[in-house]
Amino acid sequence: MKILLDECITKRLKPYLSKFEIFTVSEMRWNGIKNGALLVLCFQNQFDIFLTIDKDLTYQQNIKNLDLTVVVLNSTSSKIEELVLFIPAFISKIQKFERGKFYIIDKQ
């Protein structure tokens, strides 16, 4: 499974997702690209999941026609100490995600 971490998610989260193929927006050299174009790039580069904490994304973007899943960690902070609390719930649900849909993940 190929996952892209949004700019708002620290790269320090990568070790907690080591079962997956993880990239950051920075590693892809996509810094500063607006969300709509970023989601299209994810699709074009065969990412399975775009992982973010940007809750507004669910209202701002339409991904029904993209073969991509967007997952929002329902966090109030981008600190690693907070984000790791969402990983068990994310991993437990990952096999049930459907393409072209948004999912909001709470702490388990």
Count CB-CB contacts under 10 A for residue 107. Answer: 13
Tokens of 55: 């809750």
pLDDT-derived band of residue 67, with 50, 70 and 90 as boundaries?
A: confident
DSSP 26: T
Amino acid 70: pLDDT: 93
> Residue 52: enclosing H or E segment and its boundaries?
strand 49-52
Answer yes or no: is pLDDT of 61 > 90. no
Q: Which domains does the chain have, with CATH numbers?
A: 2-105 (3.40.50)
Q: Which residue has the tokens 């990239």?
A: 23
Q: What average pLDDT is seen over the chain? A: 91
Cα–Cα distance for residue pair 53/72, rounded to 1 Å: 5
Answer yes or no: is pLDDT of 18 > 90. yes
Tokens of 36: 């709509």
Answer yes or no: is pLDDT of 55 > 90. no
